[in-house]
Structure 1
Amino acid sequence: MASSLPRPSHADNTQLLPLSDAQSPLSTVVYELSQQVQAAMDNMLKMITEIDQSSAGIIEDIEKCKDSALERKRTLEEEKERFQKAAYSVLDMLNNRESS
């Protein structure tokens, strides 16, 4: 049974490039592109590492500030209690003086 596809003639074969000549420019382009992608990925990895290090430092600073704020809050609460006690004492003294 004969194929319905036309058979290439000798003239058609002369217009085709040898396989190695056709692959060479394409291989070069693919190789260069893969090198560029690899370089971009390496740069992104470096940036991610720098961001991770910076964020770790920022998180540490935030924790320190948080601890400092909590300590300051405790101090202010203690001062508030002392002032309230002093104010109540003064009010009690004034009330006792008026009562006498």
Structure 2
Amino acid sequence: GDVFYSDVQRTVVVYNDDITGVYEASVSRDGRVMPIVADILIVKVGDIRYTISDWIGGWYDQYIGYGSRYAFAGTMEIDANNNLIHKSHSDPWGYDGSFSDSPAAV
């Protein structure tokens, strides 16, 4: 029979899904966004687990100036649908959050 030869190319995309970094926090109140008040550190500590330096955006720790004893540090996980699952002992926001990588925002 007939023989056909062909070249095949494949593109394999490998991306870094690690959201470790320093994020700028701001406050939105009554429809107004206040200037950036603090830097929040997020660090990957497991496959899907991260630590966060302050769940409440550095409000008391950095903006008010009370110091690190007033930071609400904790842990979270990011599931396959980019949902943030709080693993700290309490949930300061009252609900879970989500992660969007375009633009990077938590």
Q: TM-score, normalised by structure 1?
A: 0.24
Higher percent of residues as helix: 1
Structure with the bigger RCO (C-alpha within 8 Å, sep 6+) is: 2
Q: TM-score, normalised by structure 2?
A: 0.23
Q: Which has the larger radius of gyration?
A: 1
Higher percent of residues as strand: 2
